[in-house]
Amino acid sequence: MNAFLSLIPLVLTLMCLVGLYAGVLKLAARLYRRTQLPWRLAFQFGGWVTLLVVLVGILRAVMPQWITGLLGLVTVTLFGAWFLGRRATDGQGQPIGSRRAAVLSGITAGLALVFGVAAGLLLFTLGPR
């Protein structure tokens, strides 16, 4: 029972990451203005991206961090082009296609990076000295 309780923080952290990425994806879709994205799809994509980022993060043990960061960005963008291209729609209800889905995925990754850096700077500033 004790091992089960020790997994609760990990599961809650992963759920929060999925939710945050889904929110950033919805924000990116709104900023892109040509994309309609249901919440269900945003949470699915957030879950898959969280899994991809964890898997690419494992490579940090054998590769430099900048290479794994670049590999993660490329992987998320390509996965977004494939996953969102057939599922996300434009204003007329037509699928947006791989190219526009890759742009949407890139905007999402950029926003996530900006929010992550801002949160890191905020925590650094407010942290104990």
Residues 24-56 pLDDT 10s: 999 999 888 878 889 999 999 999 999 988 888
* Alpha helical stretches, state H, the chain: 2-32, 39-58, 65-87, 97-126
Nearest to 105 by CA among 53, 43, 28: 28
Q: What is the 3-state secondary structure (H, E, C) of 100-120?
A: HHHHHHHHHHHHHHHHHHHHH
This prediction has a pTM of 0.85
The Cα–Cα gap between 110 and 94 comes to 25
Check residue 80 and give its pLDDT.
92
